[in-house]
A and B are shown apart, each in its own frame.
Chain A
Amino acid sequence: MNPDLIAQYFNAECAAALAPLVTLAGGLLLLIVAEWFEPMNRLRPLLFVGSILGAAWAEVALLNAPVAAVLGGTYSADKASALWGLVFLASTLIAWVHARSYYRKSRPFLGEHDMLLLTAPIGMMMMAGALDLTVFFIGLELLSIPLYCLASFRRDRSESVEAGLKYFVLGAFSVGLFLYGASLIYAATGTLSLTALTAAAATGFSPMAQVGMAFVLGSLLFKLSVWPFHLWVPDVYQGAPTPVTILMATGTKAAALAFTLRITGLLPESSAGLIALLAVLTMAAGNLGALVQSNLKRLLAYSGVAHAGTLLLLVAAQRASGELSYEATSAALFYMAAYVATAGGAFGLLAWLEADGEHFTQIESLKGLGRRRPAMAAAMTLFLLSLGGIPATGGFLAKWMVFSVTLDAHLTGYAIAGVLMSVIALAYYLRVIAAMYMEPASDQVAPPMAKRTDAMLATAFCAAAVLVMGVLPSVFLGLI
């Protein structure tokens, strides 16, 4: 151990690369300190937003001066990971703002809620930047364990506890799958570094390493909620508190996608068709499941499965075309940015409705919302149209980019199937819009909704982002 060796690992580049993670961890520590004495609790919003903004600032700094690989080549803070980091931070912030009006002020452990919520993006960033399977694993656990707790945060509701338990059991299973796969890879190749593994994959993996890769991919597909690993999604998304669902639906998916795109080079070339087939089956499972739902939260969960299918098409396209292409990365980033704004906005509105009573997330009780709450119905319509991929919204361009990348990779049949699936998806989105505008109000009268400035601001922000991404995409594409 000598100073030179330490300097080799912990230098200015390393400080810049880890700045977002350290900022969030520091904010987390201050949140714990703020729980020491009752009056300090009031600092909580300041600390939370402050650490998110600080981390975002560090990510923007990285965007201007990207760092390739630090800490002995185990963590990368390139442009793509910095942008992924911004996506995660936006998702966390939206979830947190909605959580502020979602829980009653008297609910115990709200400070712990914020701590857990702030831990999740640290894990997501580690997942997106990992160049080593161990680093990815630690990131995965840092993300998953807070989410298990948060999913069951409403302990007084059996659905919430059930969601937490289901997510925990299945999540633990998928983590076990990952570790088993990683250990097989290590046994076969003697390394866990992605750089070394990519070099080994170029000369061909042994069967043991291939089995290991299959396990690793399986656990990633679980987090991405891809068929046949999607069965937990509707129950967990519905049972978890809605602000937590925002984070699960957008942030987790983005983190898993970022890493999946990074390791496509380790998959055998012939797997592109299989992944594309899984993508189409996932879209089918999501869309057909969503068609028969009567609860909007469940419907959006199934729609999330369908979106995961579209994203998986991107993974297949990248595997088919070989190396990590600029187009695939930018399509994935744009798609997830649009999805964070859209799904974040839609689930956020649901959190708003749900705070008045569980049954207000039924499509039945949305009838007549267009007359009762015109602004809210308009925002919901915008989000649903963007989820369906209607032009002039961010969702349209995102889908268009994904399908054009798929076509470039000569997966024509799968791209056509994907477009057809999007048409089916419109059926259930339009059904909700029709209920809001064209059907008379049901006899369940909604209570007058409390004015919630936080939730209103977050919704307005999401709506604006969806529109800007649809009309002026160059604002976002210029960043990539």
Chain B
Amino acid sequence: MLEPYLPILLLVGITAAFGVVNVIVSDLLGGHRAVVSKGDSYECGMAPEGSARLRLSIHFYLVAVLFILFDVESVFLVLWAVAAKSFTAAGVGALVFAEILVFVGLLLAALVYVWRKGGLQWDR
């Protein structure tokens, strides 16, 4: 019953062997010279400089959150646009269109609020 899965088992075995054998072979054949620079942290060849704890501007978060909000909400518009013709065919096109207008109006109110509050201003 499990026969069709045999190639997968073989593949898992070969993959595991490839990793293990390579590590063992390089350990056996490679030299072992301890040098100070080998103990350094790897930073693309450069000596690490400064603290990793940088303070990022809050603006990045603000813009990211606003982007996510309006991006996710615009997905609803796509769904409506795809189904708009079938709504009209079913005779509820005007109703759904009015609903979408209300939805866009809500988004607009929020956008004006964000803009007036200075949420879109980068250099503050």
Residues of chain A at the chain B interface (Cβ within 8 Å) = 1-3, 6, 29, 32-33, 35-37
A1 touching B116 by the CB < 8 A rule? no
Task: Give the 4 A-B CB pairs with smallest separation, nearest first.
Answer: A32-B113, A1-B90, A36-B116, A2-B90
Cβ–Cβ contact B109 & A1, under 8 A: no
Given contacts A29-B106, A29-B109, contact A3 B90 (CB under 8 A): yes
Bound complex: CA A2 to CA B90 (Å): 5
Q: Report if B74 contacts A (CB, 8 A).
A: no
- In the complex, the answer to whether A37 meets B116 with C-beta atoms within 8 Å is yes
Inter-chain pairs besides A1-B87, A1-B90, A35-B116, 9 sampled, C-beta below 8 Å? A2-B90, A2-B92, A3-B90, A29-B109, A32-B109, A32-B113, A33-B109, A35-B117, A36-B116
CA distance A223 to B117 in the complex (A): 34
B116's nearest neighbour on chain A, judged by CB, is A36
CB neighbours (8 Å) of A37 from chain B are 116
* Distance to closest chain B CB from A133 (angstroms): 23
What band does the interface of chain B fall in when counting residues whose beta carbon is under 8 Å from A?
Answer: 10 to 19
- B17 at interface, CB cutoff 8 A: no
The CA of A2 and the CA of B110, in the complex, are separated in Å by: 32
Decide: A1 and B92 in contact? CB cutoff 8 A: yes
B7 close to A (CB within 8 Å): no
Given the known interface contacts A1-B86, A29-B106, the answer about A36 and B113 at a Cβ–Cβ threshold of 8 Å is yes
| Residue on A nearest B86 in the bound complex, by CB | A1
In the complex, B81 has a CB within 8 A of chain A: no
B91: CB under 8 A from chain A? yes
Nearest neighbor of A2 in chain B, beta-carbon distance: B90
A6 touches B92 (CB 8 A): yes
Chain A nearest Cβ from B52, distance in angstroms: 24
CA distance A155 to B110 in the complex (A): 24
Q: How far is the CB of B9 from chain A (nearest CB, A)?
A: 31
| B contact set with A: CB distance below 8 Å | 86-87, 90-92, 95, 106, 109-110, 112-113, 116-117
A35 to B119, CA, bound (A): 13
Q: Write the chain A residue with the least CB distance to B113.
A: A32
In the complex formed, the residue of A with least CB distance to B105 is A29
CA distance A468 to B26 in the complex (A): 87
Q: Provide the residues of chain A in CB contact with B112, threshold 8 Å.
A: 33, 36
Chain B residue at minimal CB-CB distance from A37: B116
Give bound CA distance, A224 to B115, whole Å. 39
Q: How far is the CB of A248 from chain B (nearest CB, A)?
A: 25
A33 in contact with B113 given A2-B92, A3-B92, A6-B92 (CB within 8 Å): yes
Q: Give min CB distance, B117 to chain A, whole Å.
A: 7
B95 contacts across to A, CB distance below 8 A: 6
Return A11 CB to nearest CB of chain B, in Å: 14
Distance between B82 CB and nearest chain A CB, rounded to angstroms: 13
- Which of chain B's residues has its CB closest to A33's CB? B109
- Roughly how many angstroms separate A403 CA and B110 CA in the complex, as a whole number? 49
Q: How far is the CA of A29 from the CA of B116 in the complex (A)?
A: 15
A-B contact pairs, 16 of them (CB 8 A): A1-B86, A1-B92, A2-B90, A2-B91, A2-B92, A3-B90, A3-B91, A3-B92, A6-B92, A29-B109, A32-B110, A33-B109, A33-B113, A35-B116, A35-B117, A36-B116
A438 to chain B, nearest CB (A): 52
**Distance in angstroms between the alpha carbons of A6 and B95 in the assembled complex:** 10
Complex-state Cα separation, A3 to B110, whole angstroms: 31
Min Cβ gap B120→A in Å is 14
Q: For residue A2, which residues in chain B have a CB less than 8 angstroms away from its CB?
A: 90-92
Contacts of B110 in A (CB 8 A): 32
Closest beta carbon of chain A to B25's beta carbon, Å? 47
Which residues on A sit within 8 Å (CB–CB) of B90? 1-3
State the Cβ distance, A31 to closest chain B Cβ, in Å.
10
Q: What is the CA–CA distance of A35 and B113 in the complex, to the nearest angstrom?
A: 6
CB neighbours of A35 from chain B (8 A): 113, 116-117
**A32–B112 CA distance with the chains assembled, in angstroms:** 9
Closest to A25 in B: B106
**Considering the chains assembled together, what is the distance between the CA atoms of A239 and B100 in angstroms?**
42
A7 to chain B, nearest CB (A): 10
Closest A residue to B110 using CB positions? A32
A348 to B106 alpha-carbon distance, docked (Å): 35
- The residue in chain A whose Cβ has the minimal distance to the Cβ of B115 is A36
* Inter-chain contacts of B106 with A (CB < 8 A): 29
Contacts of A6 in B (CB 8 A): 92, 95
Across the interface, which residues of A come within 8 angstroms of B113, CB to CB? 32-33, 35-36
A32 to B117, CA, bound (A): 11
Chain A residue contacts of B117, Cβ below 8 A: 35
A92 to chain B minimum Cβ distance, whole angstroms, is: 22
How far does the Cβ of A203 sit from chain B's closest Cβ, in whole Å?
37
For the complex, give the distance between the alpha carbons of A181 and B117 in Å: 41
Give the chain B neighbours of A33 by CB distance below 8 A.
109, 112-113
Shortest CB–CB separation between residue A193 and chain B, in angstroms? Answer: 25
> B residues within 8 A CB of A29?
106, 109
* B116: chain A residues within 8 A (beta carbon): 35-37
